[in-house]
């Protein structure tokens, strides 16, 4: 038979849905495929992701060591026919995005509208990328975060707050805080801390007590006293709203007390509308909120 005249007749139809996939597309199609997976990864919140050991191991030397050279401290158990490994440090959302990147080189959370929540997710993903030695992911998250806080300054507060939550707040240093977020808060303090209605990011309302103290220290001497008053007022107002709605009454009262102490520490306007009494002393505030 003349080989040049031979035509291969495929058994399957060649519709658009059945066209041969590239190697990259085939790899991406494995993401989330429970039938072909051989490992379950459980996050600190109990959520589970399925994956293929070999794919994760090729991308991350940490995964390779965990799956094929298990340490004494690593517990891999059998669950419904698949190996199960539990990470107490990372929640399911973080691990899911990390696994997604290993398969696709993409992070789907970066494609949605940015928000305080997404920024917090990225802080944890960046920390996870460092732990699992995924430099490409680390750089991707860092680039995304820098771009978002530049476009939407009010997101810088949530980013700084989440970084501080991930670190020991008694030992945290300026090197641990995202430099771009610090620059934004220092160069655009009003937009970052007191965003207008409809802006992306809640600004100062995203800050917990340690982060509020850190931010006030950061902008002290760089902004007007009136701006500091407005920042503390807005943060305090959120406590009053919680209190009126009877939401976490004790927590809102504690936040108001903390706001009073911040006012005493950072506001020095004679005869100003301080709105916060001086009955509490700075020295009564214990660790880790050391003024």
DSSP 8-state secondary structure symbol assigned to residue 270: T
Q: Are 206 and 165 in contact (CB under 8 A)?
A: no
pTM of the model: 0.78
Cα-Cα-Cα-Cα dihedral sign, residues 12, 14, 17, 18: positive
pLDDT tens readout for residues 60-82:
999 998 888 765 556 677 666 78
Cα-Cα-Cα-Cα dihedral sign, residues 219, 192, 202, 231: positive
Query: Is residue 168 scored above 80 in pLDDT?
Result: no
What pLDDT does residue 211 have? Answer: 92
Give the confidence band of 215 by pLDDT, cuts at 50, 70, 90: very high
What percentage of the chain carries pLDDT values higher than 70?
Answer: 71
Mean pLDDT for the stretch of residues 115-130 = 95
Sheet holding 76-79, edge to edge: 48-51, 39-42, 82-86, 76-79
Query: Is residue 107 scored above 80 in pLDDT?
Result: yes
Query: In this structure, what token pair is assigned to residue 94?
Result: 């973080």
- Kindly report the backbone phi and psi dihedral angles of residue 125, in degrees, each rounded to the nearest multiple of 5, phi listed first: -65, -40
Query: Is residue 275 scored above 90 in pLDDT?
Result: no
pLDDT tens readout for residues 225-235:
999 999 999 99
What pLDDT does residue 199 have? Answer: 94
Query: Is residue 140 scored above 70 in pLDDT?
Result: yes
What pLDDT does residue 56 have? Answer: 94
Mean pLDDT for the stretch of residues 172-199 = 84
Query: Is residue 13 scored above 70 in pLDDT?
Result: no
Query: Is residue 18 scored above 70 in pLDDT?
Result: no
- In the chain the domains, ranked by start, together with CATH numbers, are 23-90 (3.30.710.10)
Give the confidence band of 237 by pLDDT, cuts at 50, 70, 90: confident
- CA-to-CA separations, 122 to 95, 109, 158, in angstroms, rounded: 11, 8, 11
Give the confidence band of 8 by pLDDT, cuts at 50, 70, 90: very low
């Amino acid at each position: 038979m003349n080989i040049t005249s031979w035509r291969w007749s495929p058994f399957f139809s060649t519709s658009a849905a059945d066209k041969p996939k590239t190697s990259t597309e085939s790899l991406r199609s494995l993401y989330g495929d429970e039938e072909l997976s051989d490992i379950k990864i459980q996050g600190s919140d109990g959520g589970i992701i399925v994956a293929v050991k070999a794919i994760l191991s090729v991308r991350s030397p940490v995964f390779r060591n965990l799956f094929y050279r298990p340490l004494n401290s690593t517990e891999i158990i059998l669950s419904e026919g698949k190996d199960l490994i539990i990470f107490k440090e990372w929640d399911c959302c973080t691990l899911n995005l990390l696994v997604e990147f290993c398969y696709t080189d993409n992070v789907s959370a970066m494609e949605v509208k940015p928000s305080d929540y997404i920024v917090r997710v990225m802080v944890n993903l960046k920390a996870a990328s460092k732990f699992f030695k995924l430099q490409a992911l680390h750089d991707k998250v860092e680039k995304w975060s820098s771009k978002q806080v530049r476009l939407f300054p009010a997101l810088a507060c949530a980013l700084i707050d989440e970084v501080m939550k991930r670190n020991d707040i008694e030992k945290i240093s300026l090197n641990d805080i995202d430099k771009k977020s610090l620059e934004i808060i220092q160069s655009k303090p009003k937009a970052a801390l007191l965003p207008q209605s409809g802006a992306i990011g809640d600004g100062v309302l995203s800050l917990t007590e340690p982060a509020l103290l850190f931010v006030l220290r950061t902008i002290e001497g760089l902004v007007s006293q009136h701006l500091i008053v407005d920042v503390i007022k807005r943060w305090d107002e959120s406590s009053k709203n919680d209190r009126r709605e009877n939401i976490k009454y004790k927590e809102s009262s504690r936040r108001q007390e903390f706001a009073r102490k911040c006012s005493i520490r950072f506001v020095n306007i004679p005869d100003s509308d301080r709105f916060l009494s001086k009955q509490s002393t700075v020295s009564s505030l214990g660790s880790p909120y050391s003024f």
